[in-house]
A and B are shown apart, each in its own frame.
Chain A
Amino acid sequence: MAQNSSAKESIKEMKRLKNEPLLLIAILAIIAFICLFVVYPVIKVVVFPSLTDYAKLFNNQRWFTALKNSLLMTLISTISCTALAFLFAYVNNRLDVPCKGLFRFASLLPIVSPPFIVALSYILLFGVQGIITKQLFGIHIDIYGRTGLWIVQTITFFPYAYSVINGVMQAISTNLEYAAYNMGATRWQVFRNVFWPLCRPGVAGGALVAAINVLTDFGNPMMIGGDMALLPTEAYMQISGWYDMNTASVLAVALLIPALVLFVVKNFWVGKRSYVTVTGKETSLEPYPIPKFIKWLLFGITMFFTIFILLVYGTLVYGAFTKAWGYDWSLTLKNVQYVFLKGNQIRNSIVYGLIASLGASLLSMILAYIVQKKQVGVNKLLDFFAILPGAIPGMFLGIGYVMAFNSQPLELTGTAAIMILALMFWNIPTCYNSATAGLQQIGNSVEDAALNLGANSFRSFKDVIIPLLKAPFLSSFVLSFLRSVTCLSVVIFLYSPSTTVGTISVMVLVQSGQWGEAAAFTTILIAIAFTVLRITQGILKKQGIDLKL
């Protein structure tokens, strides 16, 4: 009955769209765009191989191992990421210790960096020419393979889990813990019965975010995976080495399925399970002190990882100015000069990032506005379309674009357009979430108030909605730009000699052992990302808004 009447409502709302042709056109255009540039490429990849090709996944020992390895790496890296993220969040929210600002900085760095930077630095530190292994201890250890990748992925992806867990933990009032102590609970009981259950949705959400990132990670396995076969890297080898689209598609689909499962669980299960309500009025007490011994132990562990992260970035900068890593430690500017010689690639990174981000944030803004503020009968469908690209691993999207847009009428292979479009649609869920969060802060009655005072629909949109959308637009634009400039997995299948971007150059340099140039390239990419981030944060701060990553 209720179902029936809500369906009727929807139809009534859709009929009303006839009077708002502009809105109708916008909705149809968005649906068409997403079908063409997201759904269509995905279908292309899925239907490309035959059933016997799919059977190879289980017959062929190497592919099956790749599948197993990918799942295993996802499992162990997710556990370590989540544990580390929980530790950082706990220290940040519940301990009275110094250096918290430093910890927060360290947990932010990997998010604004190219995904392979930790791998690169790890090689510089512990590799054959490593500054610690060779120079300090004169030993040689094999860092390539499972353990190396595990460490690298943990450092790279724990910040994503951290930002989720930290957000949830921040919203848990310490009063609840005091209430439990007051009723006679011991420290351990308070943790187990009150604090932990309240954190659990955050931990689950954080773990899933980390898992999706680890599973679809391309850069780190490429650089440090060694002989270990993983789905994303194997798929890449098949295309770049043997032009075997069949096998690449099979491997990509094998990657898509667990990614989809994680995505669905994250969005439709965990998404609804947060107990935290932010009332804003409650005044929380200072966290209840924990025993000194445990406090400083936790502080020590956090400090250890923080120093490691800072070392990673320090090494990179040092590497960028070193003549020949492992042989000649004297300082030089030649690596930086090399980057400027290849200025075209940095320029491509920036230009593609800007255009794609502009497109993604504009489209997401319109989409979020319609979904949040207009009743059009298909709100749920539009919302689903907006987050859909988030379910698709970057490399899958890349392969999809290769297959979907290699012939007339949409022959885009090798063009800048295909790079921009791929980055744009890959970024839509990020932008959409950011835009939605911004829009939700604008109370519904603000628009009503403008109408009430005599502003017509156009004036209220111009005077009230547009100015209020500036901040969410800017923050989604910046997030998208950061992701675009540091993206490797999407573009690795799509670039041509004239459309190479910075991240691809780094990968090629690493593969040929040109550490100094690779480090210089990465340093400059991070510098660009950080500059843009800080400028935007500064602008937003003036308007009283915190840009959250």
Chain B
Amino acid sequence: MKYFIEFRNVVKKFGDFTALDHISLGIPKGNFVTLLGPSGCGKTTLMRQLAGFSEPDEGDVFVNGKRMNGLPPYKRNTPLVFQEYALFPHMTVYENISYGLRLKKLPKSDVDQKVRQMLKMFNLEGLEDRFPRQMSGGQQQRVAFARALVMDQEVLLLDEPLSNLDAKLRVEVRTELRQLQQRFGITAMYVTHDQDEALSMSDIIAVMQHGKIEQVGTPWEIYFRPVNRFVADFVGTVNFLTAKVAGRDNNILRVEHNGHILRIYSDVPAAVGEMITLVVRPECIRIAREDEGIPDHACIRGSIKSYSFLGRMIRYWIQVGNDEFIIDDNDIDLNGARSGSVNLYLDTRKIHILRDGGAHADS
């Protein structure tokens, strides 16, 4: 497969600290790819290698088949939206947006036309003579987007551009941003530590930790088929169940948890006697009604410790053996929350199996 943006074995060190440890990643044209990970995982550093603000110690960076190593940032045509916007404080909105075009020595009328188009698209008309300090955070952010998009490049880099906005605005902007990217067919690279942003906007997510990519995949793969506990835990809420493989009946795996046999739909080739981890998302499990009969192989017993009412659902914390489970219950009783001992009904088709020896990460 031919990639539009590609990193091959990129290594970057700062003194003794390895920020990027042999990173390879390919992004097809027109895709929205998100680098997701905790702070310090190397996601921004990786993006800076592409923009040319820093050079890899080893490895290559390609855009559209062209090797970018050694090329100064101003020759790379990789417009970037900065986390703190980095608007020029001494230039007006108009001057900020038009700066890149003026550098290219485009005719004045072309510049004007393109800038007007951006002003309109980002709802900035009438603000063109303002200075950045005279505008709200949301407006500044739109100027930053306009300044990058006006360059009309096939690539757009975004370094946590929504982190300075309030929660409601953030949700609005991420929808608009995704639509824009698709409309223009831009290949976008997005850095964030927010799993909701990553899941809602991306074609591809690359989850990073300690300078390495842990997993690359679609949001569905990352969420339902994480490769390890870190990815499962970082993307969304999760319950881990340690279990032992007891046997297999065609596509059903029999696993033993706390002396109780569960039957899980899975094609994971786990051997009999192997210790495994079951990844159970809160929505893959529900509290059975009191009179409900559940098949024994999909049932776990527990007792409710506490709950939190969120309107459309109740989140329960339930003690199961030595583990604590988080369960989101959509089937809310108008009379209030449940309490005491309950049966938990597992949706055994959605449960994911990790062949990690079943050991808890730390304990």
Chain A residues in the interface with B (C-beta under 8 A): 1-2, 5-6, 8-9, 442-443, 445-446, 448-457, 459-460, 463-464, 467-468, 543-544
> A9 CA to B16 CA in the complex, in Å?
10
B72 near A456: Cβ-Cβ < 8 Å: yes
B-chain residues with CB within 8 Å of residue A5 when the two chains form the complex: 15-16
Give how many A-B residue pairs fall within 8 Å (CB-CB). 78
B-chain residues with CB within 8 Å of residue A451 when the two chains form the complex: 52-53, 72-74
Chain B residues in the interface with A (C-beta under 8 A): 15-16, 51-53, 72-75, 77-80, 82-84, 86-90, 99-100, 103-104, 131, 133, 147, 151
A448 near B73: Cβ-Cβ < 8 Å: yes
B103 near A449: Cβ-Cβ < 8 Å: no
Given contact pairs A6-B15, A454-B74, a sample of 16 additional A-B residue pairs in the complex whose CB atoms are under 8 Å apart: A8-B15, A442-B89, A446-B87, A448-B53, A449-B80, A451-B72, A451-B73, A451-B74, A452-B78, A453-B100, A453-B103, A454-B100, A454-B104, A454-B151, A468-B89, A543-B90
> A298 CA to B249 CA in the complex, in Å?
87
In the complex, what's the smallest C-beta–C-beta distance from A163 to chain B, in angstroms? 25
Do A452 and B15 contact each other (CB < 8 Å), given the known contacts A445-B82, A446-B88? no
A-chain residues with CB within 8 Å of residue B103 when the two chains form the complex: 453-455, 459
Q: Smallest CB-CB separation from A470: which chain B residue?
A: B90
> A1 CA to B16 CA in the complex, in Å?
9
Q: Smallest CB-CB separation from B89: which chain A residue?
A: A468
B-chain residues with CB within 8 Å of residue A453 when the two chains form the complex: 74, 79, 99-100, 103, 147, 151
B-chain residues with CB within 8 Å of residue A543 when the two chains form the complex: 90
A-chain residues with CB within 8 Å of residue B86 when the two chains form the complex: 443, 445-446, 448-449
B-chain residues with CB within 8 Å of residue A9 when the two chains form the complex: 15
A-chain residues with CB within 8 Å of residue B100 when the two chains form the complex: 453-454
In the complex, what's the smallest C-beta–C-beta distance from A37 to chain B, in angstroms? 34
The contact sample of 13 A-B pairs, CB cut-off 8 A, is A5-B16, A446-B86, A446-B89, A448-B73, A448-B82, A449-B86, A450-B99, A451-B72, A453-B99, A454-B74, A454-B75, A454-B77, A464-B88
In the complex, what's the smallest C-beta–C-beta distance from B293 to chain A, in angstroms? 54
B-chain residues with CB within 8 Å of residue A544 when the two chains form the complex: 131, 133
- The 4 A-B residue pairs whose C-beta atoms are closest, nearest first, are A453-B100, A445-B86, A449-B86, A451-B73
B-chain residues with CB within 8 Å of residue A464 when the two chains form the complex: 88, 90
Q: Smallest CB-CB separation from A441: which chain B residue?
A: B89
Interface residues of A: mostly helix, strand, loop or mixed?
Answer: helix
A-chain residues with CB within 8 Å of residue B131 when the two chains form the complex: 544
B51 near A452: Cβ-Cβ < 8 Å: yes
Q: Smallest CB-CB separation from B100: which chain A residue?
A: A453
B15 near A468: Cβ-Cβ < 8 Å: no
Q: Smallest CB-CB separation from B157: which chain A residue?
A: A452
Q: Smallest CB-CB separation from A6: which chain B residue?
A: B15
Instruction: Among A1, A454, A455, find the residue whose CB has the most chain B CB atoms closer than 10 A.
Output: A454
Q: Smallest CB-CB separation from A8: which chain B residue?
A: B15
> A454 CA to B90 CA in the complex, in Å?
18
> A8 CA to B14 CA in the complex, in Å?
11
In the complex, what's the smallest C-beta–C-beta distance from A452 to chain B, in angstroms? 5
A-chain residues with CB within 8 Å of residue B72 when the two chains form the complex: 451, 456-457
> A544 CA to B135 CA in the complex, in Å?
14
In the complex, what's the smallest C-beta–C-beta distance from A15 to chain B, in angstroms? 15
B88 near A450: Cβ-Cβ < 8 Å: yes
A452 near B90: Cβ-Cβ < 8 Å: no
In the complex, what's the smallest C-beta–C-beta distance from A405 to chain B, in angstroms? 41
Q: Smallest CB-CB separation from B150: which chain A residue?
A: A453
B104 near A468: Cβ-Cβ < 8 Å: no
Tell which of B51, B74, B89 touches A456, judged by Cβ atoms closer than 8 Å: B74
A463 near B79: Cβ-Cβ < 8 Å: no
B99 near A452: Cβ-Cβ < 8 Å: no
> A457 CA to B52 CA in the complex, in Å?
13
In the complex, what's the smallest C-beta–C-beta distance from A459 to chain B, in angstroms? 7
Q: Smallest CB-CB separation from A442: which chain B residue?
A: B89
Instruction: Among B15, B84, B88, find the residue whose CB has the most chain A CB atoms closer than 10 A.
Output: B88
In the complex, what's the smallest C-beta–C-beta distance from A310 to chain B, in angstroms? 36
B-chain residues with CB within 8 Å of residue A445 when the two chains form the complex: 82-84, 86
A-chain residues with CB within 8 Å of residue B53 when the two chains form the complex: 448, 451-452
B-chain residues with CB within 8 Å of residue A463 when the two chains form the complex: 88, 99
A-chain residues with CB within 8 Å of residue B74 when the two chains form the complex: 451-456, 459-460
B16 near A449: Cβ-Cβ < 8 Å: no
In the complex, what's the smallest C-beta–C-beta distance from B344 to chain A, in angstroms? 43
In the complex, what's the smallest C-beta–C-beta distance from A467 to chain B, in angstroms? 5
A-chain residues with CB within 8 Å of residue B88 when the two chains form the complex: 446, 449-450, 463-464
> A464 CA to B87 CA in the complex, in Å?
10
> A451 CA to B72 CA in the complex, in Å?
8
In the complex, what's the smallest C-beta–C-beta distance from B282 to chain A, in angstroms? 33
Instruction: Among A445, A456, A459, find the residue whose CB has the most chain B CB atoms closer than 10 A.
Output: A445
